[in-house]
A and B are shown apart, each in its own frame.
Chain A
Amino acid sequence: MPFVVLRDIYPFFRFGMFATPVQQAHYTERYDFYVKVAELHDWQLVPVQVLYLDESFFHYLMRRELAAGRADSLLQHLLKVYAKRRLPAISQAILLQWRLMPNGSLDSIVVAYADKELYK
Chain B
Amino acid sequence: MQIKSYISKHLLSYLGGVLLLDLVLLCVYAFWLRPEVSSFLQNGSDHWLRPWVALFYPRFFSEYNRFSDAYFLQLADQVLVRLLLAQLVLLLCWLFSKHTTVSWAEDGLKYARFYIRCFALIGLLYAYDWIYSFYRLSFHASYYDPLSFLVLFPSFSFGWLVSLWVFWLLSSLYCLWRARGSLLPALLFIVLQAYLYSFGKLDHTYAPYTYVCLLIPFYERSLHQPVVGTALSWLQSMRWAIALCYVQAGLEKLMLGGWGWLDATHLRTYLWVHQRPAGLWLIEHSPSHLLLVFSLLVMLWQLSFIGVLWRRWRWLFLLGGVLFHLVNYIFLGIGWYWHSYVWCYVFFLNPRELGRWLRLYFE
Contacts and interface: CB of A to CB of B under 8 A. Distances in A.
A9 B204 CA distance: 11
B256 A20 contact: yes
B32 to A, nearest CB: 19
A87 interface: no
Contacts of A4: 79, 82-83, 86
B164 to A, nearest CB: 16
Nearest to A29: B66
Contacts of A102: 265
B263 A23 contact: yes
B71 A22 contact: no
Interface in A9-37: 9-11, 13-30
For chain B, what secondary structure do more than half of its interface residues adopt (helix, strand, loop), or is it mixed? helix
Contacts of A18: 249, 253, 270
B207 A13 contact: yes
A57 B249 contact: no
A81 interface: yes
Interface string B238-250: 0000000100110
Nearest to A30: B273
Given A22-B269, A26-B65, A15 B75 contact: no
Interface string B139-160: 1101100011000000000000
B128 to A, nearest CB: 16
A16 B78 CA distance: 13
Interface stretch (A59-67, A88-96, A112-120): A59-67
B193 A11 contact: yes
A77 B140 contact: yes
B130 interface: no
A3 B86 contact: yes
A6 interface: yes
A3 B250 CA distance: 12
A17 B266 contact: no
Nearest to A9: B148
Contacts of A68: 61-62
A118 B326 CA distance: 45
Nearest to B66: A25
B4 interface: no
B201 A21 contact: no
A56 B263 CA distance: 25
A4 B139 CA distance: 35
Nearest to A17: B203
Contacts of A77: 140, 142
Interface string A77-106: 100010010000000000000001010100
B202 interface: yes
B252 A16 contact: yes
**Most chain A beta-carbon neighbours within 10 Å: one of B136, B263, B275:** B136
Interface string B248-292: 110111011110100101100110110100000000000000000
Contacts of A28: 66, 269, 272-273
Contact of A10 (B65, B66, B136, B147): B147
A40 interface: no
A32 to B, nearest CB: 10
B62 A63 contact: yes
Nearest to B198: A10
Contact of A100 (B75, B251, B272): B272
A19 B214 contact: no
B66 A21 contact: no
Nearest to A26: B66
Contacts of A43: none
B67 A26 contact: yes
Nearest to B86: A4
A24 B86 contact: no
A48 to B, nearest CB: 11
Interface of A: 3-11, 13-30, 51-54, 56-57, 60-61, 63-64, 66-68, 77, 81, 84, 100, 102, 104
14 contacts: A7-B58, A11-B190, A15-B248, A25-B67, A28-B272, A28-B273, A30-B272, A30-B273, A53-B136, A67-B64, A67-B65, A68-B62, A77-B142, A81-B139
Q: Which 10 A-B pairs have the closest CB atoms?
A: A52-B136, A21-B260, A67-B62, A15-B249, A19-B252, A60-B201, A22-B269, A13-B204, A19-B256, A15-B248
Given A19-B256, A24-B260, A60-B200, 7 more contacts: A5-B79, A10-B147, A14-B248, A21-B71, A25-B67, A57-B199, A104-B265
